[in-house]
Amino acid sequence: MVTIRDVAERAGVSRSTVSLVLNKSPLVKEETRELVLAVIKEMNYVPNNNARGLSNKTMNSLGVIIMNESQPSNSYNFDNHSGLCAYNISNGIMSGLADTDYGIITEAFCSVAEPDRLPKVIGNRRVDGAFIVGSPYAPELVANMKKTGIPFVLVGVNSYEQDADSVLADPGEGSALAIRYLVETGHKRICFLNCPTRFRSYYVRKHGVEQLVKELGVEYNPEWFLSCEHNQGASAYKTMTAFLDTGARPDAIVAANAPLALGAMRRLHELGIRVPEDVSIIPYEDSVLCGYAVPALTAINIQKEKLGQLAAKLLLERMKDPDRPYQKIVVPPYMTFRDSVLVR
């Protein structure tokens, strides 16, 4: 293995000089710099990350902590969470970090199961900073993270804490977008299929819907505002089954995410209720499930990759300046028009 010492010898300079050019110090004469660089290339020298980190007190890695209620499984059934949201955000983080040298260490973490533990990468001090991706995250985790002194940012559908940097979508605004469009296109009987009540985004959506409905002067039946037990198709199927059994016949459904929308659609399909001819449907949180659905689903895109990218930028800034005030970045949603809404 070739070390800085070998490079220095071959280049006929001291090790410090090589180190200086490695770290782009302006103290090195241009001529020397070029010579050293040439030798580095010629010898195929790669600085040892451990040695560098030991001096620098830096790990040169960032953690991506994926929060979830359960481990991902090999069963892709309807009664499982799709896991797509965290995946998309995490892709965004990686793309936002692509031109840095950070290693990105991913870890699944279940804060519900172990509320007082820290993710391994944090406990082991393997990272210089971290992203807490998605909900549910226990508030204790944020407190515990702060104690470690490792900078972090929260990123997700509705990831927000007072004393932390956060990048989030706006579920209220997203729901409003969907409802406004449905009203514009002539829908009169809109049903809302929300996530479990244990998620904070449940309330944000509910609030957004109630607000808008008042503003629009649309009639609103609280009994048509449903929630599902889990964020998965089977729960939505169950909820929708019970709802339709009451004889209710919405002409549009707004769902809190794609798994819920597809769960509802399964029941509609069984009953011979057609999408979009009989009922339009718009999920929040566009994903590959929407683009590939038959028919393709018009959906609210919350820019998950962008959430990730902005989180990446934010964490980098936070690490540079630990004392700056906390930021809260809200990324606006937009609608992707596909085939699940009938213009009446």
Partner DNA sequence: CTGAAAGCGCTTACAG
Q: Does 32 bind DNA (CB under 7 A)?
A: yes
CA dist 110 and 68 (Å) reads 5
Rg (CA), the chain: 25
CA dist 95 and 19 (Å) reads 29
Q: How far is the CB of 56 from DNA (least distance, A)?
A: 5
Q: Does 47 bind DNA (CB under 7 A)?
A: yes
CA dist 69 and 110 (Å) reads 6
Q: Are 340 and 281 in contact (CB under 8 A)?
A: yes
Q: Does 299 bind DNA (CB under 7 A)?
A: no
Q: How far apart are the first and last CA of the chain?
A: 71
Closer to DNA by Cβ: residue 45 or 192 = 45
CA dist 80 and 229 (Å) reads 12
Closer to DNA by Cβ: residue 14 or 100 = 14
Question: Which tokens in the block code for residue 34?
Answer: 């070029």
Q: Does 322 bind DNA (CB under 7 A)?
A: no
Question: Which tokens in the block code for residue 81?
Answer: 């969470």
- When binding is defined by CB under 7 A, the residue of 20, 65, 94, 213 that contacts DNA is 20
Residue 288 interacts with which of DNA, a copy of itself, none, CB < 5 to 8 Å by class: a copy of itself
- When binding is defined by CB under 7 A, the residue of 9, 37, 43, 52 that contacts DNA is 52
Closer to DNA by Cβ: residue 22 or 248 = 22
Q: Would you tell me which residues interact with a copy of itself (CB under 8 A)?
A: 46, 48-51, 53-54, 59-61, 71-78, 80, 82-84, 87-88, 91-92, 94-95, 101, 103-108, 120-121, 123-126, 233, 258-259, 262, 265-266, 269, 286-296, 299, 301, 303-306, 336
Of 226, 221, 251, nearest to 240 (Cα)? Answer: 226
CA dist 258 and 87 (Å) reads 14
Q: Let me know how long the chain is.
A: 344
- When binding is defined by CB under 7 A, the residue of 55, 74, 75, 246 that contacts DNA is 55
Q: Kindly list the residues in this chain that would bind DNA in the complex (CB under 7 A).
A: 1, 3-5, 12-20, 22-23, 26-30, 32, 45-48, 51-52, 54-57
